[in-house]
Chain A
């Protein structure tokens, strides 16, 4: 699974660790190295077992039970899953909200990132400064402080309405209106376009200039150059950003929690999957149900990633020539 597409020399080695050269001395030295390997790896192994693998399995078990932390887990078979898909309209609503959010926010964020990266790539001066300043929201954006700012910014008497008033538009409380509350979260996501932009920019710098020259000689205009040179050569980077941002997009929590004060409102319009999971687990203490939700989430994200990787074979263009520059 190549997570690292922007630095190809390392990235290509990611799928499987490179074979290490065989060492002279064999036997004793090899045994010492094996022991050393496991000594160095031991904290990670312990964490994998105790903090990741066993809890994952335990959560699978819990998903077939009723568990409120007070009474021991009570086996109920597939009940949680059946209820989720047939008898919990709020669950279905949360799925819809999350899918809508991801489908709108991720493409918008990536499009903004790419557009700004293209602008910056052509700029003559100040690229470094712009890049740094655009990156600031990505660093701060996940925090409670920014979510609080957003809630006020898009509130009845926030700056957004003040600016709209200059144009004679009377705003409303965007965060308290069920039809716009999720939109403010989409804007919050877009505002953090800096991180994928930095990756795009690095990718654009790797496109060999000769290709643009050749396209110009063939009479290609700006749009055709973008379609036939930039997009194919940038496709590994687009793919990388798409995978990361999609996975990221499905896991938004802080923004939705803060602007709705932990409720996912108004009228459940910001009830993201993770927020509903939190409510089921830690407000209602339905640990079994929340575990089932977590497993459906895990499988859904796994499937989605698989689909993305499968689709990537159709449109991602790996060119050794372009990558090695």
Chain B
């Protein structure tokens, strides 16, 4: 604690002396500013939450945070707000695609990462450079030819184009993340396994894989969040309302955006953010370490 305050004083360039009113005011300015920024940042979310539990009449008259009358009505009408298909269906679709993406990403990216981190084979450097190169490739460049490809396979309108590629380690970010992590594992551990007669496969399965768990969990969480939030490719590939995911379905509220629709629309928006928020609560430390070690974006 004393080291911190020492640093504080030094970085403010002030003599080590008991502070007068001015220094006290200055030392309060920082925390107050932080609280103010926090209020601004969280206000929109609180407003959405508050609005989602107001009655339609109140939404028009009361723009404040708190509802005068608390009601779940918007959640009920929003759930069945799209004709013929309920949000239960959309949530199931989203969950299916996200689960598929998580399994695909984790399985395929871990395999590739092990090869890059631990095995020697011809052209290894070239492949690694290409993998880094694909990190920078904008998704929008590939969407047209991939669409043509999946259309030829008859996959457009099904969730397959959103899941199958993940089993081929197309998300280079996770390969990269896991390679970085595996390089931090002491080589002596798998060397020892080799000396005991383990081949690459056994040492992967029994040594590297269990030790890489934090990287796998981080990859899994980010895969889930990204897929859950993804809109662009789901918009392109899903064209039958029965296969719609939550984001694509939420968009339907906008087509008929009258004032009375805000309540149900917000209610379903809140529900759609809930899984991400829960993931965040459960794994916040891991997520923040994840961005620190690899620059992953939320």
Contact = CB atoms under 8 A, between A and B. Distances in A.
Given A33-B200, A198-B288, A10 B136 contact: no
Given A10-B184, A132-B284, A222-B11, A153 B47 contact: yes
Interface string A239-273: 01000100110110110011001100000000000
B75 interface: no
Contacts of B151: 69
B232 interface: yes
A123 B200 contact: no
Q: Which label, helix, strand, loop or mixed, suits the secondary structure of the A interface?
A: helix
B31 A37 contact: no
Given A132-B288, A258-B251, A258-B254, A3 B142 contact: no
A212 B7 contact: yes
B8 A133 contact: no
B209 to A, nearest CB: 12
B127 A45 contact: yes
B186 interface: no
Interface of A: 1, 3-4, 6-7, 10, 13-14, 16-18, 20-21, 23, 30, 32-38, 40-41, 43-48, 50-52, 54-56, 58-59, 62, 69, 116, 119-120, 122-124, 130-146, 148-153, 157-159, 161-162, 191-192, 194-195, 198-199, 202, 209, 212-213, 216, 220-222, 225, 240, 244, 247-248, 250-251, 253-254, 257-258, 261-262, 274, 277-278, 281-282, 287, 290-291, 294-295, 297-298, 301-302, 305
28 contacts: A4-B294, A10-B180, A17-B128, A20-B120, A43-B168, A44-B111, A47-B108, A48-B130, A48-B131, A52-B142, A59-B142, A62-B148, A119-B33, A131-B288, A138-B298, A143-B229, A145-B247, A148-B265, A149-B47, A157-B259, A159-B63, A199-B292, A213-B10, A244-B295, A251-B138, A281-B143, A281-B147, A294-B138
Interface of B: 4-5, 7-8, 10-13, 30-31, 33-34, 37-38, 41-45, 47-48, 51, 60, 63-64, 107-109, 111-112, 114-116, 118-122, 124-125, 127-132, 134-149, 151, 165, 167-170, 175-176, 180, 183-184, 187, 194, 199-201, 204, 225, 228-229, 231-232, 235-236, 246-248, 250-251, 253-255, 257, 259, 262, 265-266, 268-270, 272-273, 276-277, 280, 284, 287-288, 291-295, 297-298
Given A35-B121, A136-B42, A159-B47, 19 more contacts: A4-B293, A10-B184, A16-B129, A33-B200, A34-B119, A36-B119, A36-B121, A43-B108, A44-B169, A47-B165, A59-B144, A119-B37, A149-B266, A152-B51, A213-B10, A220-B13, A281-B147, A297-B138, A305-B136
